[in-house]
């Protein structure tokens, strides 16, 4: 099992480049199942989840060709509308093929997804929405089986709570459904907008993506298209925090500042100088002393839950007490125990954590429990005295492309074992 070995105490400086968004590329790849023509995706990150999705699409019957960050996917014939457990056990995004398969093939058999240990992420909102579109759903032996042999029909769907993958899944199902579908209380994340832009290029009729109400007028078929994936806002945010926690002067290039407003506001509140430059660059310069700032995770445009662990690492180096409230997922403070082993002063109760700082961190052997927890431990290792070894880095490989190389180029002492 691979690990990261980190020697802390080095300021980050220079430039890091942001890869394409994993959370945008995955639904875009699933959307290729909606047409028999080629869908070409550019700026796709080279991360583990993308490779897993590529294998899944090939297993379903699509021809998948990858050349660097460019993927060409053609689902000329869906030979097996199934997502087996062995392929998707490490990836939450497997449920994204459910809607496209039912819409195009009239049936789907999808294993309940695996992924990070950060609490329940129920798929019931996907299923109830598909039922409203006319699909027959049953669940047995760890699989969801959906059938709509006569096709799907547009419907009014109100999400009981905001769900990003549920919005994406039903958006893809609705583009081939007869009549109009309205998704109310829909997610507003940039990844939703990116998916909708791809679908419109393919011939879909969609209005309101990026707002809480999305209207879709179904079409008989979709065509191929070429689309460039947006930058990964979570990777960009992780690097911004890395620059701040090391007291560095770092330029994060190829980002979308408009996707990072909540984080930039909090960084400025902590005393970090954040300046947006040309072509999506953001420069962070950290002061000698950081100030504690509270955060509450929220759906976009609020503070992203996927940056909560990294923010916790930053607050161990800030003056005062920071209250971090996690409102999206339960059980997402597992990294707090590992940070405490490095010397952090963190107390958790329910969905709230209190971080008191600044505390000097010391290197230790730590274990990553999920994708973003991995990133927080790497950030802590960058400022800890001595050597930190982060185990189970397969988690971080699911969502970060060559993170150790990017950090090393900016001055960090980190290598893969």
Do 111 and 84 touch, CB atoms closer than 8 A? yes
Q: Find tokens 């379903």 and name the residue.
A: 60
Tokens, residue 127: 């299923």
Q: Find tokens 């504690």 and name the residue.
A: 292
Distance of CA 325 to the CA centre of its chain: 19
Do 362 and 379 touch, CB atoms closer than 8 A? no
In 106-194, DSSP assigns E strands to: 107-111, 136-140, 143-147, 156-158, 180-184
Beta-bridge partner residues of 17: 253
Q: What is the largest CA-CA distance in the chain?
A: 65
Distance of CA 206 to the CA centre of its chain: 23
- How many C-beta neighbours within 10 Å does residue 349 have? 8
Where does residue 243 rank: exposed (0-12), middle (13-18), buried (19+ CB within 10 A)?
Answer: buried
Annotated catalytic residue 116: yes
Torsion of CA 241, 244, 246, 249, to 10 degrees: 120
Tokens, residue 242: 């890395």
Residues 6+ apart with CB under 8 A from 19: 43, 45, 46, 47, 69, 231, 232, 235, 401
**CA separation for the pair 181, 158 (Å, rounded):** 11
Please list the active-site residues.
116
């Amino acid at each position: 099992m691979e690990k990261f070995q980190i020697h802390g105490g080095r300021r980050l400086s220079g430039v890091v480049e942001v890869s394409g968004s994993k959370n945008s590329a995955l639904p875009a790849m699933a959307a290729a199942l909606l047409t028999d023509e080629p869908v070409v995706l550019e700026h796709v990150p080279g991360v583990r989840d993308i490779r897993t999705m590529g294998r899944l699409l090939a297993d379903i019957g699509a021809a998948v060709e990858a050349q660097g960050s460019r993927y060409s996917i053609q689902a000329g014939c869906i030979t097996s509308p199934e997502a087996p457990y062995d392929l998707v056990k490490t990836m939450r995004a497997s449920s994204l093929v459910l809607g496209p398969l039912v819409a195009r093939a009239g049936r789907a058999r999808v294993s309940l997804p695996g992924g990070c240990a950060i609490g329940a992420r129920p798929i019931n909102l996907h299923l109830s929405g598909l039922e409203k579109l006319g699909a027959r759903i049953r669940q047995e032996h760890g699989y969801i089986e959906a059938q709509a042999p006569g096709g799907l029909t547009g419907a009014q769907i109100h999400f009981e709570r905001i769900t990003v993958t549920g919005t994406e899944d039903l958006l893809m199902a609705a583009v081939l459904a007869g009549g109009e579908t309205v998704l109310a209380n829909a997610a507003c994340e940039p990844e939703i907008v990116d998916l909708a832009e791809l679908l419109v290029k393919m011939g879909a009729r969609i209005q309101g993506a990026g707002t809480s109400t999305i209207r879709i007028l179904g079409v008989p078929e979709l065509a191929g298209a070429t689309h460039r994936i947006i930058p990964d806002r979570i990777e960009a945010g992780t690097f911004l925090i890395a620059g701040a926690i090391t007291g560095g002067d770092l330029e994060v290039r190829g980002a979308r500042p408009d996707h990072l407003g909540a984080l930039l506001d909090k960084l400025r509140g902590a005393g970090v100088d954040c300046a947006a430059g040309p072509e999506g660059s953001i420069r962070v310069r950290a002061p000698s002393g950081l100030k504690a700032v509270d955060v509450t995770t929220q759906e976009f445009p609020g503070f992203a839950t996927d940056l909560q662990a990294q923010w916790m690492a930053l607050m161990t180096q800030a003056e005062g007490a920071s209250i971090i409230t996690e409102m999206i997922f339960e059980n997402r403070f597992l990294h707090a125990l590992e940070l405490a082993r490095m010397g952090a002063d963190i107390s958790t109760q329910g969905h709230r954590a209190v971080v008191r700082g600044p505390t000097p961190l010391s290197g230790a052997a730590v274990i990553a429990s999920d994708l973003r927890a991995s990133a927080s431990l790497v950030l802590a290792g960058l400022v800890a005295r001595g050597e930190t070894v982060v185990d189970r880095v397969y988690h971080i490989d699911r969502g970060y492309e060559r993170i150790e190389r990017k950090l090393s180029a900016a001055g960090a002492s980190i290598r893969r074992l």
